[in-house]
Amino acid sequence: MLTDTSTAGHHLNECLNSDGSVKPVYRNLVNAIDSLGVPELQRRWNDANHRAALDAFTFMLDPREFRTVPTDWVPRLIPEAEWDVISRGVAQRLKAINRFLLDLYCGEQEVVPPDVMYSCQYFNPELLDYRPPRDVFVHIYGIDLVHMGDGRYVILEDNLRIPSGITYQMKSAEIGLGAIPELAAGYDIVPYDIRAAYQEMFASLCDKDSPVCVLLTDSKYGSAFFEHRYLSELFGITLVEGSDLYIGANGRVRARAMGGDFEVDLIYRRVEDLELFVPGLTEAYLDHKVVLVNAMGTGACDDKLVFLWVPDMIEHYLGEPAILDQAVSYDLRSPANREYVLQNLDSLVLKTRQGYGGLGVFILPDLDKGYRSRLAQQLIEQPQVFIAQETLDFSQHLVFDESSGVFEGRYVDLRVFAVQNGHGEVTVFPGGLTRVSEANSRVTNNSSGGSCKPSWVVR
Amino acid sequence: MVEPRSISVSPDRWLTDSRVYNLIWLGRWLERADNIARVINTFARIAVESGADMLALQQSLGNAAAIRGIRVEDAGQSLEMLLRYHEASSIYHSLHTARSNATHVGTVELIRAISETVMTLERDGAMPASPLEALLLTNEVLERLDAVYKVIDDSWFHQEALSEEEVYRRFVQQ
């Protein structure tokens, strides 16, 4: 079935060789799909979509609209040997960034030029001289990678403030396997336990036994509310909104509840502007009255310009070269770089330093000339606002069009999640979230209309 | 070797202000959906027993629609407005909003039960073309609402409802 259909002629499809034959790791999967046949696959597809709707598995772009997460239920397969490199590379990067943040706020960092750090929107001067519990700033880390073929993955960006999407990794696998279990035949899928890793991480950050932990959500109208609800239920912790929390007379965070308010030891925060949600929370945090996951201040390394120095952080703090490559990027404060970028506008990606969710990403080859010219003018006027990256011709995967019964090629990236506990131990969850672009686009973010796909690490 | 510690896990979780708010509104929206379904069900039953046609049913529901604050330009639309299309007082809207409240306070089983009821009204051809079809549709909605109430009873009074934690545990065991 897969080999009958066009895959848009892309040279790098993860399922297929350039001659259209199926890659070895995908043979069992393709055989299973062929055995099912299109009508049965469509029926199972509908079952999976129905289940997603039943469970309110949503990512809402408009709070008034009930929108289930668009999902392609055929998994992406990552051989364990490839995963081993990814996993070590992610853990290495997380540790180096954490060491850098400690120096940035509690010591003196020598890696990133000061003017870059101080012009970073997410650098938080209130945190200077503040040491987070157990010296851990980065508890939860999300990293976006693309596959360049032959098992080589390249990093596009880091997500350190409130990385979102781990639930979509889990739920898409759960629903997909439930609806089409035949796809797993012949594979030994590497398991993982998010619940245990998170609970252990929460506990390791607090000084007392059985700390009270809550998950702070923006509200049920937020785009990622499904994830907030799911994780709070999975971990057995209370879901709270900003209006539930206040600072008590003793400076500790308290939650309003029937039967009596209670003190909170740790907040797994899924909001950015903490003071807007809970006035006084910053002071409580700086007084060590509450633990925040992720810590305040991590956003400094979310900055797309700071990204350029992460390989140097790895060398400086760990004394080893970076395991994973990252996209070649240009600091546009340099006149020479600016000149190069202006001469090669039709082959580069322009990103705003503080953009996220696909916003502020301009894939210049995909834009018309007029739009490119306007961006070039902005770049000349405000070079410090942007960085440029080489456009990568990364991998595509096959996605199933349930209405036509045809597989099509679409660009995919991979967001991998890791947690670091209070003992400095890092757990990288096998698989990650594969995000799929829309047709004729390379932008994969869900908030920009992309979909997702289960990802299995297979032995 | 560091001894592993645990966090304070509370399956019931605390009844916070925002949770109470959503519980109250969950109850109000479910009650509204139930109320409208019973009104339509009663009118449809009378219409079926008297042999009245669809137009008579819709016109008779016009009063019910007006009581619910729905302005219906054409009396013939009143049934569809009460079932699906009115953005504040239709069964569909009430259930849709109840589900939103349930995502804040409920278990996955409660969300599923409400979603099943919502889908009853989303099916192709769900809008009835005769009093008998209206009767059958509202019978189905009321049956599904009974299932929702059972899940609520199980969740709050017997703690037997399926949680995401249990779903995940079963998935991992696979």
A253 at the B interface (CB within 8 A)?
A: no
Contact at 8 Å (CB) between A51 and A178? yes
Pairwise CB contact (< 8 Å): A55 & B96: no
A81 and A126 in a single domain? The answer is yes
Q: Please tell me the distance in Å from A54's CA to the nearest CA on chain B.
A: 5
pLDDT 10s digits, B109-138? 999 999 999 999 998 878 898 999 999 999
A235 and A351 in a single domain? The answer is no
Strand partners, A416: A143
Asked casually if ipTM beats, i.e. exceeds, 0.85, the reply is no
pLDDT (0 to 100) of residue B1? 40
Beta carbons within 10 angstroms of residue A11's beta carbon: 9
Residue in the structure block whose two tokens are 């199980």: B154
Token pair belonging to B114 = 């409400």
pLDDT 10s digits, B63-113? 777 766 666 666 667 888 888 888 778 999 999 999 999 998 878 899 999
Number of domains in chain A: 2
CA A208 to chain centre: 31
* Alpha-helical regions (H) of A7-147: 27-54, 80-106, 114-118
Which residues of chain A lie closer than 8 angstroms to B2, CB-CB?
204, 423
Q: Please tell me the distance in Å from B127's CA to the nearest CA on chain A.
A: 20
DSSP at A309 = G
pLDDT means over runs of 10, chain A (459 residues): 54 87 94 95 96 92 86 96 97 98 94 93 92 96 93 94 92 94 95 93 93 94 92 91 96 90 95 92 96 94 94 97 95 92 88 75 84 87 89 91 91 96 96 89 70 94
pLDDT (0 to 100) of residue A438? 84
Residue B164 confidence (pLDDT) above 90: no
Domain boundary (A374, A390, A406) is at A390
Contact at 8 Å (CB) between B36 and B89? yes
Pairwise CB contact (< 8 Å): A199 & B108: no
Q: Please tell me the distance in Å from A127's CA to the nearest CA on chain B.
A: 27
d(CA B154, CA B108): 13
For the CA atoms of A291, A296, A298, A304, the dihedral, rounded to the nearest 10 degrees, stands at 150
Which residues of chain A lie closer than 8 angstroms to B88, CB-CB?
none
CA A130 to chain centre: 27
A378 and A259 in a single domain? The answer is no
Return all residues near A329 (Cβ < 8 A) that are at least 6 apart. A304, A307, A308, A387, A388, A389, A390
A204 and A270 in a single domain? The answer is yes
Which residues of chain A lie closer than 8 angstroms to B101, CB-CB?
220
| Residue from B137, B145, B123 nearest B54 by CA | B137
pLDDT (0 to 100) of residue B8? 72
Contact at 8 Å (CB) between A99 and A135? no
Confidence band for B10, pLDDT divided at 50, 70 and 90: low
Pairwise CB contact (< 8 Å): A54 & B112: yes
A67 and A173 in a single domain? The answer is yes
**Interior angle at CA A122, CA A336 and CA A416, nearest 5:** 85
Which residues of chain A lie closer than 8 angstroms to B16, CB-CB?
238-241, 244, 255-257
Handedness of CA A8, A12, A15, A18 (dihedral sign): positive
* HEC profile of B54-116: HHHHHHHHHHHHHHCCCCCCCHHHHHHHHHHHCCCCCHHHHHHHHHHHHHHHCCHHHHHHHHH
Question: Residue A399 — φ and ψ, nearest 5°?
Answer: -120, 145
Q: Amino acid identity of A89?
A: G
Which residues of chain A lie closer than 8 angstroms to B144, CB-CB?
none
Pairwise CB contact (< 8 Å): A55 & B115: yes
d(CA B107, CA A126): 39
For chain B, domain boundaries: 17-173
A333 and A316 in a single domain? The answer is no
Q: Helices H, strands E: what count in chain B?
A: 7, 0
Q: Please tell me the distance in Å from A213's CA to the nearest CA on chain B.
A: 7
pLDDT (0 to 100) of residue A248? 96
A305 and A362 in a single domain? The answer is no
Question: Residue A410 — φ and ψ, nearest 5°?
Answer: -140, 150
A194 and A277 in a single domain? The answer is yes
Q: Which SS3 state, helix, strand or coil, does residue A146 take?
A: strand
Question: Residue B144 — φ and ψ, nearest 5°?
Answer: -70, -35
A199 at the B interface (CB within 8 A)?
A: yes
| Residue from B92, B49, B87, B44 nearest B64 by CA | B44
Domain boundary (A336, A356, A390) is at A390
pLDDT (0 to 100) of residue A60? 83
A314 and A356 in a single domain? The answer is no
Q: Amino acid identity of A103?
A: D
A227 and A374 in a single domain? The answer is no
| Residue from B99, B115, B94 nearest B37 by CA | B94
Which of B22, B100, B111 lies nearest to residue A55, judging by beta carbons? B111
Contact at 8 Å (CB) between A305 and A122? no
Pairwise CB contact (< 8 Å): B104 & A170: no
Which residues of chain B lie closer than 8 angstroms to A257, CB-CB?
14-17
d(CA A440, CA B76): 45
In Å, how far are A57, B57, B110, B121 from A54, measured between CA atoms?
Answer: 8, 32, 10, 14
Range of the domain at A107: 2-321+393-458
Count of A-B CB contacts under 8 Å = 117
A194 and A48 in a single domain? The answer is yes
| Residue from A84, A52, A81 nearest A69 by CA | A52
Q: Which SS3 state, helix, strand or coil, does residue A22 take?
A: strand
HSE-up of residue A129 (Cα within 13 Å, Cβ side): 1
Return all residues near A35 (Cβ < 8 A) that are at least 6 apart. A182
A36 and A107 in a single domain? The answer is yes
Burial of A17 (0-12, 13-18, 19+ CB in 10 A): exposed
Between A1 and B34, where is the model more confident? B34
pLDDT (0 to 100) of residue B61? 80
Contact at 8 Å (CB) between A285 and A269? no
pLDDT (0 to 100) of residue A8? 47
| Residue from B19, B124, B111 nearest A58 by CA | B111
Q: Please tell me the distance in Å from B107's CA to the nearest CA on chain A.
A: 8
Segment B6-29 mean pLDDT: 80
